[in-house]
A and B are shown apart, each in its own frame.
Chain A
Amino acid sequence: MGRWALAQSPVGVTLQSDCIKAPHHHAVIIPVVSSTGTEAKMSLNSIDKERIRILWSKISKDSDAIGAEALGRLFAAHPQTKTYFTHFKDFTYNSPQVKEHGKLVMKGIKQAYENIDDMVTGLLDLSEKHAFTLRVDPSNFKLLSSCFHVVLSKRYPNDYTDEAHLSFDKFLANVALALSEKYR
């Protein structure tokens, strides 16, 4: 992931003299990315897609359970997200309502996976739903993404390598972006 610190400018770029003298990141080798990575959304390359394909083949059979756990964690770790579900009686991951909703969420994730080459088009209906009907603030997509990371790394410690984590985080960031498409 990423390249080592450059001693010279990338090909084709003329650096202003004041840009080269940035001393603040000497110790940092990899590019700086915000913790959830979803403010900066980078496109999925073929390596990402391959890793996601491999990961998906391992996790898809447990998708219902993963969805329920991720949601359960979301409500526990970020209680403000419960405001979107005032009709739920029980917010724990094994309650019937959370389980059912977890299934629904994973159905959407599957839709995104199947449309991985053009998520914006493939998730248009879901984007409309989230924008006009559900009216979920897009900042919450990040929160659910982080819950997925926790659940997946717990369940699949050997498969959820750094690289798989990276690619899956990019995937979820792109899902969030596609879901935000119809907001304005």
Chain B
Amino acid sequence: MTSLTAKDKQTVKAFWGLVSNHADEIGKDALSRLITVYPQTKIYFSHWKDLSPNSEPVKKHGITVMTAVGDAVSKIDDLKGGLLTLSELHAFTLRVDPVNFKLLSQNIMVVMAILFPADFPPDVHVAMDTFPAALALALSEKYR
């Protein structure tokens, strides 16, 4: 796992510029995939009435997540500092096991590659894998 280089950050920002209009769709698809492919993640959402892919709660939560991702892109130069409150939220209130960050990152990547096949060559792939990893790291900051 490596720090984001200047080139990575540029690539992430450029790619995000391309896809941010579809953020809601990406969020919904990624979350739906997450609960389908990794059903153990459903435990964090046992309070939702409908846990099926593409349901209303999933859609709504996908928007929440992708809004935060978009915000993280703007804070890409200091993710740790910028995501402190979100880290506290995940550590103390939501209590999400950090292994799940990897799973969601993977699903977001898969959805992005499906929706934007022409814009996802290997170098974009690397940046869009390194960035979520850095994001996950920043989110894990307050756990201990």
Contacts and interface: CB of A to CB of B under 8 A. Distances in A.
A181 interface: yes
B140 A22 contact: no
B112 to A, nearest CB: 19
A151 B14 CA distance: 48
B144 A31 contact: yes
Interface residues of B, number: 37
Contacts of B144: 1-2, 31, 33, 37, 42, 166, 170
Contact of A41 (B46, B93, B137): B137
Interface string A18-56: 111111110010011110010111110000000000000
A60 B97 CA distance: 34
Interface residues of A, number: 40
Nearest to A138: B1
A10 B93 contact: yes
Given A24-B44, A37-B144, A166-B144, A9 B98 contact: no
B93 A40 contact: no
Given A9-B93, A40-B140, A184-B130, A22 B88 contact: no
A31 B91 contact: yes
A84 interface: no
Interface string A153-184: 00000000000001000100000010011111
Interface centre among A3, A15, A39 (most CB of B within 10 A): A39
Given A2-B144, A15-B89, A42-B144, A180 B96 contact: no
Contact of A39 (B89, B95, B98, B126): B98
Contacts of B64: 16
A42 B2 contact: no
A177 B2 CA distance: 8
A170 B101 CA distance: 19
B88 A13 contact: yes
Given A10-B92, A31-B144, A32-B97, 19 more contacts: A2-B91, A2-B92, A3-B92, A18-B47, A19-B89, A19-B93, A19-B94, A25-B95, A31-B95, A31-B143, A32-B95, A32-B143, A33-B98, A40-B136, A41-B140, A138-B1, A166-B144, A180-B2, A182-B2
22 contacts: A9-B89, A10-B85, A13-B88, A15-B89, A18-B47, A21-B47, A22-B44, A23-B46, A24-B43, A24-B46, A28-B95, A31-B143, A32-B97, A34-B99, A39-B140, A40-B136, A42-B144, A166-B144, A177-B1, A183-B2, A184-B2, A184-B130
Interface of B: 1-3, 43-44, 46-48, 57, 60-61, 64, 80, 85-86, 88-89, 91-99, 101-102, 126, 130, 136-137, 140-144
